[in-house]
Amino acid sequence: MKVSVVISACDNRVPMFDRALDTWACQTMPKDDFELLVVDDARRDTLRDLCQAKARAIGLNIQFIRIDKAKSVIPVKSFIPALTKDRKSVV
């Protein structure tokens, strides 16, 4: 894996995400060289389902990460997750 791309889902804009994922599928970089980390701070099952469907249909490496805003300690306008090397922890 050479590149990890973080995409923040700040609104429920599934059609926009659909086009964005199609664009990533057309990149000249081999699909094994990058991953898409889609971070969602709400319960958007339609977005999760879209990511799973695109991963299967197009062969993209998409990781869907759901952040629970209810457990946030400090309210923030934006959130930039930093994943640990094992990809199991968000800091």
Chain segment 33-75, per-residue pLDDT in tens: 889 988 887 766 888 898 899 999 988 899 888 877 655 544 5
Distance between CA atoms of 59 and 62, rounded to whole angstroms?
9
Distance between CA atoms of 59 and 31, rounded to whole angstroms?
7
pTM to 2 decimal places: 0.68
Residue from 80, 40, 27 nearest 50 by CA:
40
